[in-house]
Amino acid sequence: MSDAQARQRVVIDRVRPEIDGGRFAVKRTVGERVTVEADVFTDGHDALSCLLLYREERAAAWSETAMEALGNDRFRAAFTVTAIGGGWRYTVAAWVDPWKTWRRDLRKRLDASQDVTLDLLAGAALIHHAAERARASGRKADARVLAGLARALEQGRDLEARLRLGLDEELAQLMDRHTDRARAARYRELPLVVDRARARFASWYEMFPRSCSPVPGRHGTFRDLAQRLPYVAEMGFDVLYLPPIHPIGVTHRKGKNNSPAAEPGDVGSPWAIGGAAGGHKAILPELGTEEEFRGVIARARDLGLEIALDVAFQCSPDHPYVREHPEWFKKRPDGSIQYAENPPKKYEDIYPFDFDLPGEAQDALWQELKSIFDHWLGFGIRIFRVDNPHTKPFAFWEWVIGEIKRDHPDVIFLAEAFTRPKLMYRLAKLGFTQSYNYFPWRTNSRELTEYFTELTRTEIAEFFRPSLWPNTPDILTEQLQFGGRPAFIQRLILAATLGACYGIYGPPFELLLDRPRERGSEEYLDSEKYQLRHWDLAAPHSLRDLIALVNRVRRENPALQSDDGLRFHPTDNEQLLCYSKSAPAADNVVLAVVNLDPHHAQSGWVALDLAALGLDSGRPFQVHDLLTGARYLWSGARNFVQLDPQQAPAHLFRLRRRVRSEQDFDYFQ
């Protein structure tokens, strides 16, 4: 043990948040607070000084804030992050503080009516030492003040004046400024990644450009897509996600409904990337030109939409990579290239890359895959939805995301990883900004409560941001197949309010498409993954108006713009799910009650945690349903709710705390 270590008496332990001993970064977005806690203690009874230190990579020095003692040797402090980037660091420093110990003990001796003459001399000596430190650091003015105070404390004739001086708060602050940190213990530096706000709060809409044509049977183009953008913007979405826009292979092209044999005119799957017109850096000629795509990006930006692109690292047999770099693909015993499989499923129209390559070949593959991101970054794209990242090496993702975010810290990566929890969480730790998750299959109150408590109230919330999707082109859940319109509304509200980030695959969602390819399948019948579709966007049964309302509610209520503050409240009916979200800084609380039964009316009593909601148990409060406009006056923790799914499967209440009586009811409308 070094002499410096032997002289450090303070222990710093159980720092939170800390991900895997500091191996991975905690995540925040600009403007969010990072609350840090730690166990800090020493031998004996000496008092401690404890600081939270933090800095952004470009900062010349550490910022620091004193940590508050919570009791039982636990300390807490917080700071707000102000700039995006992965260069943030934070740590905890602490040391035995003789001055704080002296002041504390002086108070105790005075309370016990003990003689403190010698104690005052000891305090004066501590101030003299602080004056010397101030002088050595160039703070001469502070040094003069401290030296004068030391003389006053040791030589003053008025004992009461000397005592007041010893306990003076301004002196304490001056002593804190020049405290002796020579023996300070310091915890390891912990990493923090700060993303832009859209990483925390966003409403996504997925749409196939090739199905945007106003003419049935005609292949959609970027010009058609540009005409469709107002429809998406009017529903209140801020991210438009496009499946792959690249050339599609012909060899082993899939036909309608995933038929292994394509017929003339079948357009194939956009995820079978690569053909005569190019690969991952090319655009499907039927969609249009690069210039027209840039026009879509610009038009979307004007409407408040950001374009997200799909990145799928796989190739059709016709991809130029197959011809130019056959070493990047696995070979079967007969010498042919191994197509993708997830037994018993076969994907004959795509070849996966072989990441188990020797050094130089692997380096070349990794650099080329990174160049695909670089290419689309050049178009101004800053959001990527990554297909099946869990089937590629962890080391690759850590490298490529780190390289990209070093130069473009505003990039957002959404992981399409419907896989085992530990894999999903590892990908998030490695750098993915958001992730798909198990929300589509969590349907009853117990499942939803347990799952979202795990995602928002445990360490997982420090690095994993869920993006909630009730449907995708691959997922038409059993609940949507059999629940009718109420199920679609219920899942929309759950996705949009349980999570700050959510998305839908449209137009199938708002048009209530519920027919699977076959019984027991989650594949859509006549899926536009394999064929062109024409959508009647003006259909009277469309949910577009409701979706627009829900997205407006999300924008107007800060409580719904974060996954913090989610709290579940008990009900006496398991078919009713009750939960709230709160944003204390904005004095905003939203309370949701959702009927999870799409077929029958359900009623029951909700039991609210009034303290958590900031409500006074002795005063009534108003609940304003943001979906219907109705207002109710509630009182106390237990309140009755009845929801008929054919009329309104959910209440989405904003709480009004200041109602004093029924006579005040109209005033607060």
pLDDT in tens, 363-407: 999 999 999 999 999 999 999 999 999 999 999 999 999 999 999
Q: Which residues are catalytic, by number?
A: 387, 416
Per-residue confidence (pLDDT) for residue 346, from 0 to 100: 84
pLDDT range class, residue 8, cuts 50, 70, 90? confident
| Average pLDDT for 443-471 | 98
- The reply to whether omega before 344 is within 30° of 0 (cis) is yes
User: How far is the C-alpha of 620 from the C-alpha of 324, rounded, in Å?
Assistant: 73
Place 664 in a pLDDT band, splitting at 50, 70 and 90: very low
Around Cβ 498, how many Cβ atoms within 10 Å? 25
Burial class (CB in 10 A: 0-12, 13-18, 19+), 489: buried
Please determine, for residue 667, whether its predicted confidence score (pLDDT) is greater than 50: no
**Percentage of the chain lying above the pLDDT 90 cut:** 93
Confidence class for position 6, pLDDT limits 50, 70, 90 = low
> Omega of the bond prior to 507 within 30 degrees of 0, cis?
yes
**Residue 5 has what pLDDT?**
58
Six-digit token string for 451: 């799952």
For the cut 90, the answer to whether the pLDDT of residue 276 exceeds it is yes
Are the C-beta atoms of 318 and 238 separated by less than 8 Å? no
d(CA 107, CA 163): 10
Q: Residue 173: what pLDDT?
A: 94
What are the residue ranges spanned by the domains of the chain? Answer: 1-96+184-195, 98-178, 202-311+370-557, 561-668
CATH topology of domain 202-311+370-557: TIM Barrel (3.20.20)
What is the model's pLDDT at position 192?
98
DSSP 116: -
Whether the per-residue pLDDT at 251 is higher than 70: the answer is: yes
Strand partners, 308: 241, 383
CA 334 to chain centre: 46
Residue 304's region, left for phi above 0, alpha for psi from -120 to 50, else beta, is left
DSSP 6: H
Alpha helices in 458-595 (DSSP H): 478-498, 544-556
Cα 299-411-565 angle, rounded to 5 deg? 100
What is the tens place of the pLDDT at every residue in 155-187? Answer: 888 999 999 999 999 999 999 999 999 999 999
Q: Evaluate whether the domain defined by 98-178 bears CATH number 3.40.50.720.
A: no
- Please give the DSSP secondary-structure letter assigned to residue 250: -
Contact indicator for 474, 499 with CB cutoff of 8 Å: no
Distance of CA 335 to the CA centre of its chain: 45
Q: What integer is the mean pLDDT of 201-216?
A: 98
> What is the rounded distance in angstroms from the CA atom of residue 42 to the CA atom of residue 24?
28
Run of H or E residues at 516: none
Positive or negative CA dihedral for 600, 605, 609, 614? positive
DSSP-assigned letter for residue 335: S
Cα–Cα distance for residue pair 38/23, rounded to 1 Å: 18
In tens, the pLDDT along 110-124 reads 999 999 989 999 999
Partners of 77 in beta bridges: 36
- Is residue 666 pLDDT above 90, yes or no? no
Domain boundaries 561-668, corresponding CATH code: 2.60.40.1180
Q: Are the CB atoms for 577 and 557 separated by under 8 Å?
A: no
Task: Give yes or no for a contact between 563 and 455, defined as CB atoms under 8 angstroms apart.
Answer: yes
3-class DSSP assignment, residue 155: helix
Q: Does domain 1-96+184-195 have CATH number 2.60.40.10?
A: yes
Of 32, 181, 155, 210, the C-alpha closest to 96 is 181
pLDDT in tens, 319-361: 999 999 999 999 999 989 999 988 888 889 999 999 999 989 9
Token pair, residue 2, equals 């070094």
Kindly report, residue by residue over 62-121, the tens digit of the pLDDT.
Answer: 999 999 999 999 999 999 999 999 999 999 999 999 999 999 999 999 999 999 989 999
DSSP-assigned states of every residue in 647-658: T-SEEEEEEETT
Q: What is the mean pLDDT of residues 430-438?
A: 98
d(CA 159, CA 116): 10
pTM to 2 decimal places: 0.94
Sequence-separated (6 or more) residues with CB below 8 Å from residue 632? 622, 623, 625
Is it true that 1-96+184-195 and 561-668 share their CATH fold? yes
50: confidence class by pLDDT, cuts 50, 70, 90: very high
Span 552-564, average pLDDT: 97
**Residue 538 contacts residue 529 (beta carbons within 8 Å):** no
Q: Please tell me the distance from the alpha carbon of residue 500 to that of residue 504, in angstroms, as a whole number.
A: 13
Residue 215 DSSP one-character state = S
Q: Which helix (H) or strand (E) holds 225?
A: helix 222-234
- Residue 116, C-beta contacts closer than 8 angstroms, at least 6 positions apart: 106, 109, 110, 163
What is the rounded distance in angstroms from the CA atom of residue 1 to the CA atom of residue 301? 60
Q: Which band of pLDDT confidence, cut at 50, 70 and 90, is reported for residue 3?
A: low
SS3 content of the chain, % helix, strand, coil (to 5): 35, 25, 40
Query: What's the full length of the chain, in residues?
Result: 669
Q: What is the largest CA-CA distance in the chain?
A: 106
CB atoms within 10 A of CB 144: 13
The pLDDT of residue 4: 56
- Residue-averaged pLDDT of the chain: 95
Q: Count Cα neighbours of 598 within 13 Å in the Cβ-side half-sphere.
A: 17
Count Cβ atoms below 10 Å from residue 31 Cβ, excluding itself: 12
Average pLDDT on 216-227 reads 98
Q: Count CB atoms within 10 A of the CB of residue 119.
A: 17
Respond yes or no on whether the N-terminal peptide bond of residue 214 is cis (omega within 30° of 0): no
The residue type at 630: A
